[in-house]
Amino acid sequence: MKIRRLETEEIVSVYHEYMERDFHTDELRPLNRILEPLQDGIYECTGMFDDGILTGYAFFVKLNKDYLLDYFAIVPDKRNQGYGSKYLALIEEYLKDSDSLLIEVENPLYATDEQSLVTMQRRKEFYLKNGCYETGVFVNLFGVEYEVLKSKNTKSYIQQEIKDLYRKHYRTTLPDKLYSKYVHVK
């Protein structure tokens, strides 16, 4: 298995073939809000391949040596086979020279039903069992409540530094009007 950057045409294909199904409409950036920051060098899109076949994708907001995992998924026919953990380990290696990798997970405290609660808890547990840590930083992003985790390779930032770094990630990819209205770090 290997990880590599995706070309623009691959990103467009992944967006339409997978992301539009894998993520709720309220979680999914418009495609132009991926491609424009990509061209500006502040966004990076990777794929994990097994024998040349795409098994998963991870998209990041990138600020110097600090990363925010924006989207992470395994393609449907490869799920529940250990690919997620393998990909996360490859991401850790891929970003070994970075200063941080922040990760958003939906906050289970705000689940509206039992099925949502189970899904949110499962996602958070996936990151925790793979060596990520809670930061104590919570955000409301476009009306959705998230908790911010950090990867095991992240430098030892204090909570306020994580909040500031998180804000910077969104300030660079969102117009001021959208940022002010929809990004609330707690």
pTM for the model = 0.92
Q: Which residue has the higher pLDDT, 25 or 26?
A: 25
Question: Which residues are registered as beta bridge partners of 3?
Answer: 48
Decide: 131 and 77 in contact? Cβ < 8 Å: no
pLDDT in tens, 122-134: 999 999 999 999 9
Q: Which residues pair with 170 in a beta bridge?
A: none
Mean pLDDT, residues 18-33: 91
44-103: per-residue pLDDT in tens? Answer: 999 999 999 999 999 999 999 999 999 999 999 999 999 999 999 999 999 999 999 999
Report the DSSP pairing between strands 183-185 and 144-150: unpaired
- With beta carbons less than 8 A apart as the criterion, state whether 148 and 12 touch: no
Residue 15 has pLDDT above 90, yes or no: yes
